[in-house]
Structure 1
Amino acid sequence: MSADRAGGVQSLERAFDLLERMADAGGEVGLSELSATSGLPLPTIHRLMRTLLDCGYVRQQPNRRYALGPRLIRLGESASRLLGSWARPYLAELVEATGETANMALLDGDEAVYVAQVPSRHSMRMFTEVGRRVLPHSAGVGKALLSELPPEEVRALLARTGMPAATDRTITEPDAFLAELERIRAIGHAVDDNEQELGVRCLAVTVPGSPTAAAISISGPAGRVTDAATEKIVPVLHAVAHRLALALRDAGAPVA
């Protein structure tokens, strides 16, 4: 490999790393912050950021800080649609095995966004529009996704979004919610028990090693998604999540 080629690849890797660090920081950072977290010298970061700025992948704020740019929206939307199309056959397996509606959601900023769904065949079934965004504290997929984050990041997110009650069962206190996330980590799945909508229960697990934080779930009437049904459904959720993870790996996405 030539020096020029090696340098080009390194620059590309560094540019993507800076974009990832900006996303981790909430989408807006200063150059000194990027230098501190990346270990790169300020002149290198400035050169890379100017290139990303010229391409529209970042923008500079009036306060001189840098924010993720609008061109990333198109890439993100296309990637979400593709991820959803990969997931649908696996969601169909969930519907076949459980009889309930199956969903896939991603953590996008401070919200959970649904990117795929396969509906139940029951006449009484749950329906969530693909593209719908929800605050993660009141949804099974959101709780599963947040259970993967450090507590301090969860607290910061909750401080930004607030914890409005969707029903009288919604957890609205940060300490209680962090205790719920600890329980989710212990048992390996999240439960939305009438917290997003009365009469509806949802069971969710994360997709291990997804290129972006992702979770799959089933949702149905509380009278069908009982504790007894949960014991049978959760192993199916985990099995499908791992098969989906393998599919993403085979498609080129790294899986842990």
Structure 2
Amino acid sequence: MQSLGRAFSILEAIADAGGIMGLSRLAEEVGLPLATIHRLLRSLVDLGYVRQEPNRQYSLGPRLMRLAGEATSRLGVWARPLLSEAVQELGESVNLAILDGDEVVYVAQVQPSTTLMRMFTEVGRRTLPHTTAVGKAILAAATDEEVRALLRRTGMPRRTPSTITEPEEFLRRLAQARERGYATDDGEQEIGVRCVAVAVPDAPRPMAMSLSGPTGRMDDATVERAAAVLGEVAGRLGAALSGAPAEVGLR
């Protein structure tokens, strides 16, 4: 059990460092002797969960991709009971999205049974974070330098007349989201649709939960109420994903 725990500590340390790390730094981060780290790394390399790069650093291995893919596909199943609670409380569609590389991916959605409006947001849809409330909620935790680097890689294409296309304006909106505790999208992804989103705290990867509805129904009071409900539900989801999965859907 000790070796298993240490192996996972190594994988998590490499992930926290951006997916690649040198041996000395890894030993420092994990707090184990170099010889112990090296022995565990050799086992992880042999199994395909870690890869040794030509520069002798260690990166996450390709075999983890299957595990990550399956875990992500199950995320919607785990989250659905909580999303359903929010839908029952608020009466609008609720979504869960993760940051995958430089894109937002929607991994779960629950719609009210009476909805007649088809939303852009559907499970599996990928989009750029600058156009969405979930993207803002997730990137609000990043530094300005990290956000600028992402925007340079993706660009800021316009989807609607309301889409934010200037980096400094986007950073201003992120600062506003940090201050309020939630982010909004006012027709920036889809004309006639307003969204509010909150980050999922303590989640194993950056993710956010959002509520979407027609602009006519999503006034400021509704957005404030939705942010409070989503914040409570997102907190419970984050707690479950960080180590208490049995709590999902029990309240």
Same fold (TM over 0.5): yes
- For the residues of structure 2 that align with 1:62 and 1:168, how far apart are their CA atoms? 47
Q: Map residues 8-157 of structure 1 onto 2, 5 A cutoff.
A: 9=2, 11-31=3-23, 33-35=25-27, 38=30, 42-120=34-112, 121-157=114-150
Give the partner amino acid of 1:126: M
- For the residues of structure 1 that align with 2:148 and 2:36, how far apart are their CA atoms? 33
Tell me which residue corresponds to 1:250: 244
Give the partner amino acid of 1:163: M
- Residue 13 to residue 158, structure 1, CA distance change in 2 (3 Å): farther
Tell me which residue corresponds to 2:194: 201
Give the partner amino acid of 1:73: M
SS at match of 2:173: helix
SS at match of 1:168: coil
- Residue 51 to residue 247, structure 1, CA distance change in 2 (3 Å): closer
**Aligned length, in residue pairs:** 245
Whether the 8 Å contact between 2:202 and 2:239 is mirrored in structure 1 is no
Whether the 8 Å contact between 1:119 and 1:125 is mirrored in structure 2 is no
- For the residues of structure 2 that align with 1:42 and 1:132, how far apart are their CA atoms? 43
- For the residues of structure 2 that align with 1:75 and 1:201, how far apart are their CA atoms? 35
For residues 204-247 of structure 1, give each alpha carbon's deviation from its aligned partner in whole angstroms, at most 9, with x where no partner exists. 01222223332111112222222232133222212222333454
Tell me which residue corresponds to 1:173: 166
RMSD: 2.7
Give the partner amino acid of 1:116: A
For residues 76-113 of structure 1, give each alpha carbon's deviation from its aligned partner in whole angstroms, at most 9, with x where no partner exists. 12222332212111111222222211111122333322
Give the partner amino acid of 1:103: N
User: Among the aligned pairs, what percent are the same residue?
Assistant: 58
- For the residues of structure 1 that align with 2:179 and 2:155, how far apart are their CA atoms? 25
Residue 232 in structure 1 maps to residue 232 in structure 2: no
Q: CA deviation at 1:44?
A: 4.1
Give the partner amino acid of 2:245: A
Unaligned runs of 5+ in 1: 1-7
Residue 185 in structure 1 maps to residue 165 in structure 2: no
- For the residues of structure 2 that align with 1:171 and 1:61, how far apart are their CA atoms? 39
- TM-score, L = length of structure 1: 0.81
Name which of structure 1's ranges 13-22 and 198-207 shifts more when overlaid on structure 2.
Answer: 13-22
- For the residues of structure 2 that align with 1:126 and 1:144, how far apart are their CA atoms? 19
- For the residues of structure 1 that align with 2:234 and 2:199, how far apart are their CA atoms? 7
Whether the 8 Å contact between 1:100 and 1:125 is mirrored in structure 2 is no
SS at match of 2:121: coil
Q: CA deviation at 1:187?
A: 0.8
SS at match of 1:198: coil
- For the residues of structure 2 that align with 1:245 and 1:36, how far apart are their CA atoms? 28
Whether the 8 Å contact between 2:120 and 2:190 is mirrored in structure 1 is no
Whether the 8 Å contact between 2:184 and 2:196 is mirrored in structure 1 is yes
Q: CA deviation at 1:38?
A: 4.9
Q: CA deviation at 1:62?
A: 4.5
- TM-score, L = length of structure 2: 0.83
